[in-house]
Structure 1
Amino acid sequence: MNRYPSLRRATVFAIVALVVFAGVAGVVASQPSQSVAPAQTGPAGTVVVDEGETSNGISTVAGTVVVRGTVDGDVNAVSGDVVVEETGTVTGNVNGAAGSLRIAGTVGGNVDFAGGNVVFERPARIGGDVNLGAGNVLIAGQIDGTVTVGADRITVGPSAVVAGDLRYDGALNLQEGATVEGSVIRDDSIGGGMGPAGWGTNWDIPGWVDTVYGFFANLLLGALLLVLFPRFSNEVADAVEERTVRSGGWGLLLLFGIPILLVAFAITIVGIPVALLGLMLYVLAIWVGVVYGEFAVGRYLLARLGSEGKWKALLLGLFVFVLIGFIPIVGGIAVFLALLVGIGALGSGLRGRFAERRGGGEREAKTGDDGEAVIGDRPGSDVGTEAGETR
């Protein structure tokens, strides 16, 4: 018997929401599209319920979920996109996290979702409540319950009908002609949406303060990495520069693969502590990956200018990405690419160190007690430590 259902649900949701933050575009993209069989469950490339078909329910990790027919039950999805077309009907609830959610059809129950973009088109009809955390939300259809939404931008179109209250946190555009039969209430406790600058925050702070804070936070982390792990940091930067595509591929695999494993652990009570620990390490790895990626770019640019130095490279890389961040869309893409190559090179480097130390232990056991270092260029080398490393 599950004694901790709330803990399990919270753990799973926190993990899958990270996929959205990373801009998931399909976590199992290599698998082919498939039409849904009754009670579709598990990973799939693209899950489709065609018009005229009926599924008993969908629980999946997929690149895209499209409902054109009938789902007689719930849709639980961690996906790149979830779409309920105008001909589509979901008799139960729609739950999960995705890059985008678009509903033009009918949902009989509630919609609880975290997504980058959420759209309820004019023909949409939601029978229950709507709870959203998103970057952008557009409501143009009919919602029979209460709407609770935290987002960067919230638009309620002229064709929208909300039978209950509209509780929101974010920039609201309530257009003329929109009908909200209950109260329109700004609720700062909901949080600032799912955007990179406002995800899960309740503070109304100027954008420049957030930018300056982010720069110095990254600078502090980068400085710690360079001081504590100087050689390893340079190895990661080398991997980014020399094996960019390979590092990006590893980064894509780690970014989307790890959350799937954590969700699998969180499904069981025994695995919840492992999933929570893994979640914290995953968040830290994402941050370190971004900083390493920007450091590598700074080192590359510094070399093109005929200069060198790890501290100058760190400052230059962070500053360049601050400037790029002011460009809409381009800034987010640049940071995401830096994350991919950075976390990929980080994972590859850690794997190499683990293999090196494991191999060193095995070789040392075979050599006896002569004390000679087996892994490294010579006896007494500093392989396996970071202290006193130079480049």
Structure 2
Amino acid sequence: MRIVSTRLFSSSRLGAAALGAALGVSTGGAATAEILRKGSWPDVEPKVSVELSNEPRSEALKRVAQAAGWSLVLDVPPGNAVDLHVKDQPADRVLELLLADGSYVATRDGDLIAIAPAPATPQPTLAPETPAPGPPAALAPSASPGDAEDEDAEDEDAEDAPPSSRGRDRFVTGGSLRVEKGEVVNDVSVIGGSLDVWGTVTGDIDVMGGSTHLHEGARVRGDVSTVGGPLTVADGARIDGDVDVVGGPLHRGERARIRGDVNNDLSPAAGDGASAQGASTLARRAGNAVTRTAFLFAFGAVMLALWPRRMEMLKVEIAARPMRSFALGVVGVLGALAIAVALCVTLIGVPFAVLGLLLAVVAVVAGGCAVLETAGAGLFGHRTKNPYVHLAIGCLGLLIVSAIPYIGGALCAAVALIGAGALVATRLTGLLRPKARSEGTGGPYRTSP
């Protein structure tokens, strides 16, 4: 599909009269019929076949739109009754001939087309110019360097002046979008697709899950934010606002202009402050990791102080059967998610699902603290028997190993699953007691009446 900002098609009187006679449409003696097309129009429209007799023109337009798969919004005169007998004709050509009585504007957004009369263009009145008296050309003062600087400043101000038309917002989900050269749009949002810009964006750009490419001559007056995809700013492209790139690189041409701040720690072309921003991001991540580890130690210390016997049960189970605990943890997590989804089917079950998930998270954190205490006891149990020291050593080891890419994430997941499995194996540390075996007729100790 080729996206065109504005296309003007004129049908001659001879062509309009020829096919108009076949359609039963009178051109009304107009010299030309003009339809100003705006928006995204494909090169080839579907062909339609419509049969109707002595119907208003509005009904004929609706029938053509229905056959072409359009959604039509009309603001045109009803017109005379027409006889329409067409077979395998381009839908836009039939639409043009049905509107052969004047000039109209057809604005398209996907399959939605709005048609309205074109605004009248006033004819300018030319007044005779009277030359002002002044010195002869030979005596006119020459331009000074200061005047040239003033002209450059005026050109820069004119370039920064906001456009007369902001354009309309564009929102695309699961597809790509192109802003052609000369096209003006306002805010642009693309989810799950790529964006290519040659024209002007008067608002902001937000792209998630796709690439963004600002080609030569592109202009963005607002901010640019991308998540999960690369951003390319070619030579000659310009961004007046800030740039934020998360989860993707930034490729910036040498002659690309970015006036605002640039935030991207993956790209060396992010600007002069890229190294400082990368160091700041690293420090922030390290601080967050230390905070999480401190919270984990504090939570585990509270559990050891309040329920030492239950924490000891988890520790014994983890030390005796770690792989069994891991397997039970996988099964337990999947089962909890299935129960939560089942509860969310009904409106009454949603609060119970939310409460259950919160309790499950607290329980898994407690199990993870038991795993860390067990690991710390295995490393330094021969030096001290203090469980708080064991927990601190386990938390410190997790903090160090979690900084390793991929391996750290896998280890954290394993700790959580082993802790969850230990909870399942111990029936939540004895909170859920097994059913007492009944002495029925089927039991091993059958009694006679």
TM-score above 0.5: no
Greater RCO, 1 or 2 (C-alpha within 8 Å, sep 6+): 1
Compare CA radii of gyration and give the structure with the larger one. Answer: 2
Q: Which TM-score applies when normalising by structure 2?
A: 0.40
